Amino acid sequence: MALIVQKFGGSSVANAERVFNVADIVTKTYAEGNSVVVVVSAQGDTTDDLIEKAQEINPQASKREMDMLLTAGEQISASLLAMAIEKLGYPVVSLLGWQAGFHTSSAYGSARIKRVIPDRIKKELDKKNIVIVTGFQGINRYDDMTTLGRGGSDTSAVAIAAVMNADLCQIYTDVEGVFTADPRKVKNARKLSVISYDEMLELASLGAQVLNNRSVEMAKKYNIQLEVLSSLTRAKGTIVKEAKQMEKMMISGVAKDEKVARISIIGVPDKPGLAFKIFSKLAAKNVNVDIILQSIGRNGTKDISFTVDQQNLKDTIELLSAYVELIGASSVVYDENVAKVSVVGAGMETHPGVAADMFEALYEANINITMISTSEIKISVLISKEDADKAVAVIHDKFFSEAIHA
């Protein structure tokens, strides 16, 4: 008998029909003799609807009260799914995050899991119950409800799989696995049968919305094998596992992220230590910086450009605007009309020319590159947002056309 953790996203439980579909998947897994823990997200657009309701009441609502509100979405999903499973005649219990043992930091809206004490989950499994847990949430040291941020239900599922030593963690979504590009935008996108943790982590961090990047980090740390698959088609999905167990593909996927902004600090004095001062200020405010470009110094000054998540743009501009005069820079400017497009592949370490091929594809499509960032298994470029979809398509065609036409 295996212990299987199954996570279902918002689209999988969006309405009554889909809730019963999920109930069928769960009960069939249970009927095969497995112990089953299920983690659910809020139904469909429930989280967005709750945010909209909050905006109507108080656009400046505290993050604590927002967490109190948003945790209701997963509670609805968990209880409805439990009711559906009850109707099918199976033993089931639904638990809130804190009941399942999730203890988090106190960063409302983006809490980190500090520990999971799964005593209640174990007791319910011992009673032969199917256990349904609300994803995305926990409790802090003040006994306040907290949320883990967008995509937090993936992290909840992997955390349970890790602490319970689960045999498999399945992430059910509305796509059939991990594709070489977004299949809704790129016609020739192909499903991968397997992908490494590192490649998946890069794709998740770069805008591919199949898995939350924090969940992949945790899966890699605790060596939890993941399977990404569709609850709608039930087709075989993509396995995410350690790279040592698989052959390295040159390129595994192309991803885009349109939720970025470019910030430029103009006229920074060309002196040692100023970059450190700027980025340490941002780090202190938990602003994550991605691509960084520093111009060659001229006339005693230089420009420093970098990208941040759009949700951090306002705070970053406010912070830098007050600081830029102190360091002697002339101004801070920003651009939200940008997108980051990336290629990821563990095999590019041993295949020269990947960057050249990527840049050639963009040149042939008349797409201008404003910033470039590379790592061992990733190349990212910053381009105009209006060119993002076209860029993904031409880059994908450049790397995957031979395999497609073969």
pLDDT in tens, 207-256: 667 888 889 999 999 999 999 999 999 899 999 988 664 455 678 899 99
Region 172-177: what's the mean pLDDT? 89
Mean pLDDT of the chain: 92
Known binder of ligand: residue 74? yes
Helix (H) or strand (E) holding 153: helix 152-163
Q: What is the pLDDT of residues 175-214, one digit of tens each?
A: 889 999 888 888 888 999 999 998 898 888 776 678 888 8
Region 100-106: what's the mean pLDDT? 97
pLDDT at residue 249, rounded to an integer: 64
Q: What is this structure's pTM?
A: 0.81
Structural domain including 26 reads 3-174
How many structural domains comprise the chain? 1
Known binder of ligand: residue 8? yes
Neighbours of 176 (CB within 10 A): 18
Identify whether 87 is part of a domain: yes
Identify whether 344 is part of a domain: no
Known binder of ligand: residue 374? no
CA–CA separation, 353 vs 57, rounded Å?
55
Contact status, residue 131 vs residue 93, Cβ threshold 8 Å: yes
Known binder of ligand: residue 47? yes
Helix (H) or strand (E) holding 390: helix 388-405
Identify whether 379 is part of a domain: no
Q: What is the pLDDT of residues 256-305, one digit of tens each?
A: 999 999 999 999 999 899 999 999 999 998 898 989 999 887 788 999 99
Cα angle, residue 396 at apex, residues 393 and 401 outer, rounded to 5°: 115
Contact status, residue 226 vs residue 211, Cβ threshold 8 Å: yes
Name the β-bridge partners of 342.
255, 380
Helix (H/G/I), strand (E/B), else coil: 192: coil
Q: Is the pLDDT of residue 317 over 90?
A: yes
Known binder of ligand: residue 350? no
Known binder of ligand: residue 257? no
Identify whether 95 is part of a domain: yes
Identify whether 92 is part of a domain: yes
Identify whether 147 is part of a domain: yes
Known binder of ligand: residue 9? yes
Identify whether 339 is part of a domain: no
Identify whether 398 is part of a domain: no
Known binder of ligand: residue 73? no
Query: If you write DSSP's letter for every residue of 34-56 in order, what string do you get?
Result: -EEEEEE--STTHHHHHHHHHHH
**Distance, C-alpha 63 to centroid of its chain:** 21
Residue linked to tokens 């212990």: 3
Known binder of ligand: residue 174? yes
CATH code, domain with 43 = 3.40.1160.10
